[in-house]
Structure 1
Amino acid sequence: MPDEFADLLSGARMSFTVQSKKPINESGEKDYVGMTMKVSTEDSDLVEYRLIDDYVYIRSDAAALGEALGAPVPSARDLPPEAGAFKKALEGEWVKIDAKKMEETTAELEAESGFEPSPEPTLDARTQKELLEAVRSTLAREVDFKTSDTEDDSEHIIATAPFRTLITELLGEIRPLAEKLPPGAELPTDKDLKEAPNAEVTADFTLKNGELTEVYVDLAELAENAKVKELGLQVRLSEGRTPTAPADATELDIEDMLGGFGSAMMSEEDFGEEDF
């Protein structure tokens, strides 16, 4: 990971909202009617994504992302008039994509090239239950839990465990189920696990009125030679805002995006051949 990208992420905040016709834990793909995701820093909103009905809406700070990844993007001023929505995208404005049309066009291109997509990976109900039981038994055996109350009537659960021991024991429980896992779900080897840090890692769970509201983990504890003393990952759960469609979004043509002008945008001339 380039240092510039690590610096960018170290102060980033990501918010995610999903809206469904049913309770989330009972929802399937067809029940979701809106989603939003935004990644921000102190300086700007890096990228924002919304899925409303049949359209995907996207805007980003392309210059900041390109600089952080070490692959500067072309300036919008240098694009020809026919660039259309691509120019709007590079200027940080909203663009929208017809999700159904994109799916149809992608399928047509795959058919023309002879590409056959792999079936969606799935787990049968029995395997899911066995995996859940493996996780539960490992956590009960290897993790030390402590509870405490606070002045605002919330409850804290502090979970502590040696990282390498926890992961090794958990994978030991899962390995007998490996043949039932979806293709490509390869488990780390014993050799891989020996290189994992065995530091004590602590997760702080906050509950209010019996509902989980916050989780905090210091990721620096996972790095034995970390240059920083603390790298906190904080997750908060709350009621989200109703996703809405931006009124001023410019439609991005699918054919332009998947071929033609879109391919030219990703040419070696623009981005070089660096590996990250």
Structure 2
Amino acid sequence: MEQLSAGSKLDQAFEELAEEKSISFELDLDTDPRSLKALDASSDPEPGEELTDEVAGLLSDMKFSVTVQSKKPIAESGEKDYVGMALKISNKDGDLTEYRVIGDYTYLRSDVNALGKAMGFPVPSVKDLPPEAGGLKKVLEGEWVKIDTKEMAKTSAEMGAESGAEPEPEPTLGAKTQKRLLEALRRTIAREVDFKTADDKDGSEHITATAPFRTLITEFLGEIRPLAKHLPPGMELPTDKDLKDAPNAKVTADFTLKNGELTQVSVDLAKLAENAKVKKLGLVVRMRDGRTPKAPAGATELNMDEILGGFGAALMDAEGFLEDEEGFLEEAA
């Protein structure tokens, strides 16, 4: 009875969330630099590509704030239904970077100096930019800038495409396919996950869900294989053989409900590392009231020629910048 009741409560909470047209949440990495470095070391990085203390400290302290807004309920939304998105990355010292997509424009601002210092790569100086690159000076000064989203996507596609080839459309996942994937996930959870409930003093309810990782993933993929033809190009599903070496340790997720509404989810992933030195490795998602992403006032518009010409040249002149940036992206992934 407890299993059925807990599963039903979670199902209802997620259904209510899916009916919202705007969802906001915060994602924290519940970890520490020592655990991240131990996890990195177990992946056997090449000499010189090990996770540095500075990067491990930056990643362990990051918080991601996300808002998504649609014209329709989230559960029924396809790519064209979304009208606003905002992502902010911050740490204990303040905001590191922020990104918003609203209307025809993508808005950006970053604390370039803080990122450069933490990541150990040189940051171009304002004096390194040509006189006509006024907008790019705003980037280095941490001010808001905006870029035409279609122009940015077109340029990115052209740069990634082979010479003379037509840029391929971005892969999309239709609303119907999303719904069928969610139904497959529900069936898998009902079969493979053990639930327990407990009450808190503040009136909230905790539901813990525990399942062996490899079994859960394998069963879920088995459920969705019939949907493979409906998935966007490039979304290849791993085979059971691919998953045979995945850890099968039990993973527990803790869901907090207040008045039936989902308020927080925390997941402990340390056991999946299969490394005794990884003491703390988890994710915490805190739900927030749905907000409406707004375009920041006074943003300076940039065009792609200005970005590729002025800023690109300045970055190329900064010795070692590109190599350090690639190393950061690999470590962050």
Q: Structure 2 length as normaliser, TM-score?
A: 0.70
**Which deviates further from its counterpart, 263-272 or 103-112?**
103-112
Of residues 176, 192, 195, the one that matches 2:245 is 195
State the distance in 2 between where 1:126 and 1:30 align.
Answer: 14
Taking the TM superposition and a 5 Å limit, the aligned residue runs for 1:83-232 are: 83-102=133-152, 114-122=164-172, 131-225=181-275, 227-232=277-282
> CA 1:186/1:22 → structure 2, altered by over 3 Å: closer, same or farther?
closer
Alignment-derived partner of residue 264 in structure 1: 313
Assess if the C-alpha contact under 8 Å between 2:70 and 2:84 holds in 1. Answer: yes
State the distance in 2 between where 1:240 and 1:124 align.
Answer: 23
Answer 1 or 2: higher relative contact order, Cα 8 Å, separation at least 6: 2
Aligned pair 1:248/2:298, yes or no? yes
Aligned pair 1:17/2:67, yes or no? yes
> Residue type matched to 1:58 in 2?
L
Assess if the C-alpha contact under 8 Å between 1:110 and 1:116 holds in 2. Answer: no
What is the Cα deviation at residue 222 of structure 1? 2.0
State the distance in 2 between where 1:190 and 1:110 align.
Answer: 32
State the distance in 2 between where 1:14 and 1:86 align.
Answer: 25
Q: Deviation per CA, 1:158-204, whole angstroms, max 9, x where unpaired?
A: 00011122222222333454444332112234444233222211001
Q: Deviation per CA, 1:4-29, whole angstroms, max 9, x where unpaired?
A: 33321211111112334444334444
Assess if the C-alpha contact under 8 Å between 1:44 and 1:61 holds in 2. Answer: no
What is the Cα deviation at residue 87 of structure 1? 1.7
What is the Cα deviation at residue 134 of structure 1? 3.2
Q: Which runs of 5+ in 1 are unaligned?
A: none
> CA 1:25/1:140 → structure 2, altered by over 3 Å: closer, same or farther?
closer
What is the Cα deviation at residue 221 of structure 1? 2.7
Count of residues in correspondence between the two structures: 275
**Which deviates further from its counterpart, 83-92 or 25-34?**
25-34
3-state secondary structure, aligned to 2:243: helix
Q: Percent same amino acid at aligned positions?
A: 68
3-state secondary structure, aligned to 1:256: helix
Q: Deviation per CA, 1:42-83, whole angstroms, max 9, x where unpaired?
A: 123111112333332211122333344454332334334333
What is the Cα deviation at residue 118 of structure 1? 2.4
Aligned pair 1:234/2:270, yes or no? no
**Which deviates further from its counterpart, 113-122 or 82-91?**
113-122
> CA 1:133/1:54 → structure 2, altered by over 3 Å: closer, same or farther?
closer
Alignment-derived partner of residue 43 in structure 1: 93
> CA 1:93/1:39 → structure 2, altered by over 3 Å: closer, same or farther?
same
State the distance in 2 between where 1:53 and 1:122 align.
Answer: 19
Of residues 57, 74, 89, the one that matches 2:107 is 57
State the distance in 2 between where 1:124 and 1:248 align.
Answer: 35
State the distance in 1 between where 2:76 and 2:174 align.
Answer: 17
Q: Which runs of 5+ in 2 are unaligned?
A: 1-39, 41-50, 328-333
State the distance in 2 between where 1:94 and 1:5 align.
Answer: 25
> Residue type matched to 2:98 in 1?
E
Root mean square deviation of aligned Cα? 3.2
What is the Cα deviation at residue 139 of structure 1? 1.4
What is the Cα deviation at residue 229 of structure 1? 1.9
State the distance in 2 between where 1:109 and 1:155 align.
Answer: 50
State the distance in 2 between where 1:148 and 1:96 align.
Answer: 47
**Which deviates further from its counterpart, 115-124 or 52-61?**
115-124
> CA 1:185/1:28 → structure 2, altered by over 3 Å: closer, same or farther?
closer
State the distance in 2 between where 1:239 and 1:57 align.
Answer: 22
Assess if the C-alpha contact under 8 Å between 2:79 and 2:173 holds in 1. Answer: no
**Which deviates further from its counterpart, 237-246 or 112-121?**
112-121
State the distance in 1 between where 2:322 and 2:152 align.
Answer: 27
> CA 1:111/1:117 → structure 2, altered by over 3 Å: closer, same or farther?
closer
State the distance in 1 between where 2:56 and 2:147 align.
Answer: 30
Alignment-derived partner of residue 44 in structure 2: none
